[in-house]
Structure 1
Amino acid sequence: MPEEVLFETERRQSRSDVAALLRDVADKLDSSDELTLSAGDNTLTLEVPSEVTFEVKAERETGGAEDELSVEFELEWDEGDQTSDGALSIE
């Protein structure tokens, strides 16, 4: 299935800064059906249903000068699935 990237950002940050961003995402998911992603001039607001598929994946990429390790956290839902517990706007 083809994939369309709607929003992407990548930046080296401290673990503490990443933890703060993940806490912000968790707080937004806990309190709202909308999640707004912003970086520079790019902004995307997603309507997140009350239930999603949560995937955690750890990978090792080899073949370069050094192996690269990563952990990915992914939320998935069908675009038509917009059931939610309430409508709170998050800016």
Structure 2
Amino acid sequence: MEEQLFTFERDTDRATIAQLLRDVADNLAAGEPVQLSAGEESITLDVPSQAEFEVQVERETEGDETELSVEFEIEWDETDGGDAPLSVE
């Protein structure tokens, strides 16, 4: 069963996207929690020191329209108690 805990999707300029990714990277590098918030929604993630990291690039074609996407995912098992992997998309 999959449960959506937080979601954010909006057209955003490239510089803002880069800053958001930098903020996440800075927190990960410092071993600090990653806090995501948008409007009234927020979540704080304590990312363990070891996690599974995946990068996926997709092309979706529908008629004459082609859309590219890149997904970054960090995944860990909550039940391992702390030093397991995380998922960031």
- The bucket for the TM-score relative to the shorter chain is 0.7 to 0.9
How many residue pairs align between the two structures? 83
The letter for the 2-side match of 1:24 is: D
Contact 2:33 2:46 in 1 (8 A): yes
Report what 1:60 is aligned to: 59
Q: Secondary structure at the match of 1:56?
A: strand
Whole-Å Cα distance in 1 between the matches of residues 39 and 63 of structure 2? 30
Whole-Å Cα distance in 1 between the matches of residues 31 and 77 of structure 2? 18
Aligned: 1:76 with 2:75: yes
* Deviating 4+ runs (over 3 angstroms): none
Report what 1:47 is aligned to: 46
Q: TM-score under structure 2 normalisation?
A: 0.85
- Quickly say closer, same or farther: Cα 1:34–1:67, change in 2 above 3 A: same
Whole-Å Cα distance in 1 between the matches of residues 18 and 73 of structure 2? 16
Shift of 1:76: 0.3
Over the aligned positions, Cα root-mean-square deviation in angstroms equals 1.5
Whole-Å Cα distance in 2 between the matches of residues 14 and 65 of structure 1? 25
Whole-Å Cα distance in 2 between the matches of residues 7 and 65 of structure 1? 32
Aligned: 1:16 with 2:6: no
The letter for the 2-side match of 1:32 is: G
Identity over aligned pairs, percent: 55
Q: Which runs of 5+ in 1 are unaligned?
A: 85-91
Q: TM-score under structure 1 normalisation?
A: 0.83
Whole-Å Cα distance in 2 between the matches of residues 64 and 4 of structure 1? 32
Contact 2:31 2:49 in 1 (8 A): no
